[in-house]
């Protein structure tokens, strides 16, 4: 078998294994995690013990969506699909969202995940929520594949940091930003 075919076959097998392993753990966690749904909202879900965080989302989400739409010059493509999940355990947050246990929040195409470590810096809750909304806003328009493949991470994070008033980059220096932009291949 030619070397090129072997390399392609290895790549395909590795990709299938990666999807299978991460997909199975994700399915398991999503089937076993029990969230309460805020009765007044169809898009806020929380674990037992995270009730204190619900009010922050409920009080701010609609205003943040409007603010972000104005800042990014487009309405959300599917605002009815937005969901916010609030966790009481950082390990469960990490397992469910595939984000680091050190992050305060993360997002997918329509979902925002808020870690319980946000409590350590509760004053940043509103801005972190807006930061994650920025990621969703872009993903809803261009799709996850293009979001990952076509747009440099420094731009996506820079936009989210800018519209949120600095959230997520409180400890990032100008030198660190410059270096990241220079290393970017896209």
Residue 30 to residue 108: CA distance in whole angstroms: 14
Determine the pLDDT at residue 20.
52
Domain 33-168 belongs to what architecture? 2-Layer Sandwich (3.30)
Determine the pLDDT at residue 118.
97
Confidence of residue 13 (pLDDT cuts 50, 70, 90): confident
Residue 99 to residue 114: CA distance in whole angstroms: 10
| 127-172 pLDDT tens trace | 999 999 999 999 999 999 999 999 998 899 999 999 999 898 888 7
Confidence of residue 53 (pLDDT cuts 50, 70, 90): very high
| 41-50 pLDDT tens trace | 889 999 999 9
- For residue 3, pLDDT beyond 60: yes
Length reported for the chain = 186
């Amino acid at each position: 078998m030619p070397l090129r075919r072997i390399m392609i076959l290895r790549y395909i097998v590795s990709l299938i294994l990666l999807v299978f392993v991460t997909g199975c753990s994700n399915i398991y966690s999503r089937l076993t995690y029990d969230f309460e749904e805020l009765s007044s909202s169809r898009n806020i879900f929380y674990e037992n013990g995270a009730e204190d965080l619900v009010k922050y989302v409920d009080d701010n989400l609609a205003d943040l969506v409007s603010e972000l739409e104005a800042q990014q010059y487009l309405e959300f493509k599917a605002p009815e699909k937005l969901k916010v999940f609030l966790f009481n355990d950082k390990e469960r947050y990490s397992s469910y969202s595939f984000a680091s246990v050190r992050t305060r929040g993360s997002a997918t195409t329509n979902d925002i995940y808020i870690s319980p470590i946000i409590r350590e810096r509760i004053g940043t809750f509103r801005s972190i929520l807006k930061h994650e909304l920025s990621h969703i806003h872009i993903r809803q328009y261009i799709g996850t594949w293009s979001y990952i493949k076509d747009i440099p991470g420094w731009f996506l994070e820079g936009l989210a940091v800018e519209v949120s008033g600095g959230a997520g980059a409180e400890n990032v220096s100008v030198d660190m930003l410059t270096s990241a932009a220079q290393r970017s291949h896209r």
